[in-house]
Structure 1
Amino acid sequence: MSEEFEIEFKNKLSAKDYYRLLNYYKAEEGDFFIQENHYFDSTLWELKKMHAGLRIRVLDDTAELTLKTPLNKHLLETTDYLSIIESEDLLLKDQIYFTGHVARKLRELNINPKDMHLIGSLKTKRFEKQTSVGLIVLDQSFYGEQTDFELEFEVHEAQTGEIAFDTFLKKHQLKKNRSENKIVRMINNSLKNKAE
């Protein structure tokens, strides 16, 4: 289990700006990795209402169950690590574990882990570059018929991180265009498709 404070700044990117940044970092095909996020909530959207998110993230050879809850202006991440087999089993059963650190945190929020069910999935092709001021992340995400691009900047300290992020945007002539969390984008797209 891990519990950590997540400080990140996000910015929507056009496809043109996304590929321009990849070119700047001389990204090659072997520099990318794929991650699948499978999101959970109750039928009453209890997590959505509190601006929290719950996901099973699957990578090539590992997986994790993570609950993100608001803390000040950022997020607290509570994670239980899973094997690939465990993640496949949970997704097949449309549930999360009823024990563990994530389940305990949900109960602290007065949410029953047994009420969680899969609400949608999103696949991301990710490029990461560690810099002296933080981790630069360039994501291309796919959900439904939608594809989008975003820049994430993960830092350890909010104030200096925000200054560094703004400096990065200016340096690369990027317009500030705040990006919603992936789960929000996936849910909004799903609800829009159901309404059409």
Structure 2
Amino acid sequence: MSVEEFEELSRRAPELVRLEFIGGKVRAKPPADGTHGQIVMWLVKRCLEHRADLWLYPACGLAVETYRKGRARPDGVLAPDEHFAGAGEWAAPTGVLMTVEVTSRDADTNRRDRVEKPDGYAAAGIPVYLLVDREGCSVTVFTEPEKGAYRSVTTRPFGALVELPEPVGFTLDTEKFKEYTD
């Protein structure tokens, strides 16, 4: 499937279905449950507290992977205020400081959030990828993208202080995530 065919399919998909095109394959991203949404909104608030010059945009479409042949909808995209104004449905990742994914309760989350997404975001040159892993009760920070992979990967349990290095540049206290485990 070409990128153009995927974009047409995505435009015609019902609102309940969020489609992504990663690794040359169409993936359906399941609807978020209440806890998933709460975690994303909690992160939005933390980002604004620490970096008022930046916004954590929920579910923004990004053109990722080598030569922009992938399409992803991260749960959050950290970028400067008004960065995506006029960008359209699938924005270039240029200027994005961090992507955020919160794992879902579906069979595809391992491949999608732990394997394909880090590779796609690294290939796009996004400096930081933050994965909130509800199943593993942990937070993983991927940094130093090089040649389509992140060279540094650090995992900490819920409750730890997690350093989000420059260009994000603040420490995230993940104690609150303990309340969101099922």
* TM-score, scaled relative to structure 2: 0.26
Structure with greater proportional helix content = 1
Structure with greater proportional strand content = 1
* TM-score, scaled relative to structure 1: 0.25
